[in-house]
């Protein structure tokens, strides 16, 4: 199957955003262009033959397709030399010699989620179109007329009861595309070139058997103007998060190599915890290994890794380790196109898009960092919380085998961190229906698997990994609240691991604040005490007067505001010492 992308338009309604580039080269929320997104998702879906019609600025599109990450793909660029005096029916005509296969046909201004095309390709119907019966009919965009479960007409000015919201992305057999193309040729030969290609389709549609497929459970929309771009950016960011690729595997090497092959990566850059570095060198001999960072990673350490990445000419990033390792890899990727000569830290500079992908393989079941936009580095001794959607890894491999050798105490405190994240997400002021769904799913998995997890039961480990991932997904949306807000200074002041410090603060919150603890069929407070008791973790520390003042001053005010009730922080810390 080939893909055909119509990219011959001018895009006047985008105003200054298309003064020097085609509309498909407008940037989305993550600085990726619409065109790059389409090519990337086609590649992910296994389509390697792409026909791209061009109008103004054809070289821009060709330069994108010349990137090494697309070396397994083949592109042709039929040019519409009268792009400013014709509609895309003429572009389809110009591409006619290449339309000799089954075709996935789309407009160049469409933005869609990463699951849409794979699901279309899996559909057994050879000819499909996209409609949405639940969406109001748009005033100025395409509608599709469906008669006897067949697409019979596409147009803007049709509003009858058999018409539905429609998006111009088709999967068509070689036979059907020929029938449509033959009529396109007839239109063009009759000099009828200022109409849609669908005008030619409407005359021959009966009997072609193009079946409607609902896009109600997907995201797809076109970008015609700046208002469209604002709306699409807001929605597609959340869809990208929801559709992050997460694979659970009994071992990590095979799925890692499979993913690297799909990415055309021949020289990966692996950020890995020191204790794993020698093993990884043997298993991925062509990789560049970076392990020179501490448990509270410094900005200078990240810069060292960034410079090594650039000097080595690597083409992907892999993180294998705990939260600190993942944070370092996140900020390296965020900083790839930053100005290293600037006095402004790389993570504070405007992000510039990179096609370098991040594969994350966590070795702990704690923060769910593999699915969050957050990273932490220390600059001149000051903690820097770096939140950017670009930080979310592209692919995640969860491997229970990597958790087995984690020391027991580390297993306990990482679970407590993730458990508290789920609880805090449920009562957070910023909670949404989706974040609560993730948090409840996490609590259920914790409840059913925490004992088996300590006994190294592989199924229980797999479920706890998923629970921790859900906790990360939940707080990525809702953020954390009071227990986390109070915990950070406890970690540095008393040398208590983060997850244990959060558990100490959570104990105090439960005993000082009246807040909801029962969510569905799970009592979060009861579950917290069941697990902390089973783990035999202490929940009190000795705090003197001077330390109390220091702790109170160090509370994260933004996280504290996220708690649904006003709390007396000083009293809560006093309870920690009882």
Domain end call among 179, 208, 242: 242
Q: How many CB atoms lie within 10 A of CB 315?
A: 19
Higher-pLDDT residue of 200 and 514 is 200
Reported as a pLDDT band with limits 50, 70 and 90, residue 434 is very high
Answer yes or no: is 411 within a domain: no
Domain end call among 348, 369, 402: 402
In this prediction, residue 454 carries a pLDDT of 93
The residue-averaged pLDDT of 174-183 equals: 98
Range of the structural domain that residue 509 is part of: 423-578
Euclidean distance between CA atoms 25 and 36, whole angstroms: 8
Reported as a pLDDT band with limits 50, 70 and 90, residue 24 is very high
| pLDDT 10s digits, 179-190 | 999 999 999 999
Q: Which residues, other chains included, contact 341 with Cβ-Cβ below 8 Å and sequence gap of 6+?
A: none
In this prediction, residue 492 carries a pLDDT of 85
| pLDDT 10s digits, 304-336 | 999 999 999 999 999 999 999 999 999 999 999
Q: Which residues, other chains included, contact 2 with Cβ-Cβ below 8 Å and sequence gap of 6+?
A: 47, 49, 50, 51, 98, 99, 101, 102, 103, 104
Residue 275, SS3 per DSSP: helix
Answer yes or no: is 408 within a domain: no
Q: Looking at the structure, tell me whether residues 43 and 162 fall in a common domain.
A: yes
Beta strands 143-147 and 268-272: pairing type?
A: unpaired
**Res. 44: pLDDT tops 80:** yes
Q: Which residues, other chains included, contact 279 with Cβ-Cβ below 8 Å and sequence gap of 6+?
A: none
Residue 312, Ramachandran bin (φ over 0: left; ψ between -120 and 50: alpha; else beta): alpha
Reported as a pLDDT band with limits 50, 70 and 90, residue 342 is very high
Q: Looking at the structure, tell me whether residues 238 and 257 fall in a common domain.
A: no
**Res. 254: pLDDT tops 90:** yes
Q: Looking at the structure, tell me whether residues 308 and 208 fall in a common domain.
A: no
Answer yes or no: is 369 within a domain: yes
**Across 61-65, 361-365, 567-571, which has the greatest mean pLDDT?**
61-65
> Looking at 30-39, 155-164, 223-232, 563-572, which range is the least confident one?
563-572
Reported as a pLDDT band with limits 50, 70 and 90, residue 511 is confident
CATH of the domain at 465: 1.20.1090.10
| Tokens encoding 428 | 């957070």
Answer yes or no: is 43 within a domain: yes
Dihedral, CA of residue 454, residue 459, residue 461 and residue 466, to nearest 10: -140
| pLDDT 10s digits, 448-494 | 999 999 999 999 999 999 999 999 999 999 999 999 999 988 988 89
**Res. 408: pLDDT tops 80:** yes
Q: Looking at the structure, tell me whether residues 359 and 285 fall in a common domain.
A: yes
3-state DSSP helix/strand/coil percent for the chain, to nearest 5? 50, 20, 35
Cα distances (Å, whole numbers) of residue 340 to 157, 288, 337: 54, 21, 9
**Res. 577: pLDDT tops 80:** no
**Res. 578: pLDDT tops 70:** no
CATH of the domain at 235: 3.90.550.10
What average pLDDT does the structure give for the chain? 94
Q: Looking at the structure, tell me whether residues 197 and 63 fall in a common domain.
A: yes
Answer yes or no: is 274 within a domain: yes
* Domain tally, the chain: 3
Alpha helices in 479-544 (DSSP H): 482-494, 498-512, 524-535
Q: Looking at the structure, tell me whether residues 223 and 77 fall in a common domain.
A: yes
Domain end call among 208, 242, 276: 242
Q: Looking at the structure, tell me whether residues 217 and 269 fall in a common domain.
A: no
Answer yes or no: is 227 within a domain: yes
Answer yes or no: is 188 within a domain: yes
Q: Looking at the structure, tell me whether residues 132 and 200 fall in a common domain.
A: yes
Q: Looking at the structure, tell me whether residues 338 and 460 fall in a common domain.
A: no
Answer yes or no: is 130 within a domain: yes
CATH of the domain at 365: 3.40.50.1970
In this prediction, residue 363 carries a pLDDT of 93
Q: Looking at the structure, tell me whether residues 98 and 209 fall in a common domain.
A: yes
Q: Looking at the structure, tell me whether residues 427 and 376 fall in a common domain.
A: no
Q: Looking at the structure, tell me whether residues 535 and 386 fall in a common domain.
A: no
């Amino acid at each position: 199957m080939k893909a055909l992308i119509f990219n011959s338009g001018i895009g006047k309604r985008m105003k200054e955003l298309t003064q020097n580039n085609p509309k498909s080269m407008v940037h989305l929320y993550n600085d990726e262009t619409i065109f790059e997104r389409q090519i990337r998702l086609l590649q992910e879906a296994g389509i390697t033959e792409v026909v791209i019609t061009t109008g103004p600025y054809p070289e821009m599109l060709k330069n994108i397709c010349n990137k090494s990450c697309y070396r397994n793909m083949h592109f042709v660029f039929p040019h519409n030399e009268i792009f400013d005096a014709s509609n895309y029916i003429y572009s389809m005509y110009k591409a006619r010699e290449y339309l000799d296969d089954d075709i996935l046909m789309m407009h160049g201004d469409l933005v869609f989620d990463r699951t849409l095309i794979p699901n279309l390709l899996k559909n057994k119907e050879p000819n499909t179109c996209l409609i949405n019966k639940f969406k109001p009919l748009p005033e100025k965009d395409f509608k599709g007329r469906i008669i006897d479960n067949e697409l019979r007409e596409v147009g803007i000015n049709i509003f009858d009861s058999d018409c539905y919201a429609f998006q111009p992305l088709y999967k068509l057999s070689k036979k059907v595309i020929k029938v449509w193309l033959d009529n396109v040729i007839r239109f063009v030969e009759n000099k009828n070139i200022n109409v849609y290609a669908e005008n030619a389709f409407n005359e021959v549609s009966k009997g072609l058997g193009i079946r409607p497929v609902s896009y109600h459970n997907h995201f797809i929309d076109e970008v015609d103007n700046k208002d469209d771009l604002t709306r699409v950016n807001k929605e597609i960011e959340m869809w990208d998060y929801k559709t992050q690729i997460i694979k659970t595997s009994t071992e990590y090497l095979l799925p890692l190599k499979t993913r690297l092959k799909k990415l055309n990566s021949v020289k990966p850059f692996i950020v890995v915890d020191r204790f794993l570095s020698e093993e990884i060198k043997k298993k991925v001999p062509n990789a560049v290994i970076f392990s020179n960072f501490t448990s509270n990673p410094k900005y200078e350490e990240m810069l060292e890794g960034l410079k090594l990445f650039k000097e080595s000419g690597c083409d992907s990033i892999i993180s294998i380790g705990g939260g600190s390792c993942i944070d370092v890899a996140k900020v390296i990727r965020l900083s790839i196109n930053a100005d290293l000569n600037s006095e402004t830290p790389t993570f504070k500079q405007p992000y510039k898009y990179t096609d370098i992908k991040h594969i994350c393989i966590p070795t702990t079941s704690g923060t769910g960092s593999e699915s969050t936009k957050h990273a932490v580095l220390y600059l001149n001794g000051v903690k820097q919380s770096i939140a950017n959607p670009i930080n979310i890894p592209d692919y995640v491999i969860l491997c229970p085998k990597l958790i087995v050798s984690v020391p027991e105490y580390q297993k306990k405190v990482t679970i407590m961190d993730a458990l508290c994240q789920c609880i805090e997400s449920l009562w957070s002021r910023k909670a949404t229906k989706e974040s609560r769904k993730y948090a409840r799913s996490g609590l259920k998995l914790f409840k059913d698997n925490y004992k088996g997890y300590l006994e190294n039961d592989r199924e229980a480990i797999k479920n706890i990994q998923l629970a921790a991932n859900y906790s990360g997904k939940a707080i990525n949306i809702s953020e954390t609240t009071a227990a986390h807000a109070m915990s950070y200074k406890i970690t540095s002041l008393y040398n208590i691991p983060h997850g244990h410090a959060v558990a100490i603060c959570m104990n105090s919150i439960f005993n000082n604040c009246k807040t909801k603890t029962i969510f569905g069929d799970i009592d979060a407070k009861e579950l917290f005490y069941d697990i902390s008791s089973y783990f035999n973790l202490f929940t009190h520390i000795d705090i003197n007067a001077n330390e109390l003042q220091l702790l109170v001053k160090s509370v994260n005010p933004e996280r504290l505001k996220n708690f649904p009730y006003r709390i007396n922080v000083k009293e809560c810390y006093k309870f920690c010492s009882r």
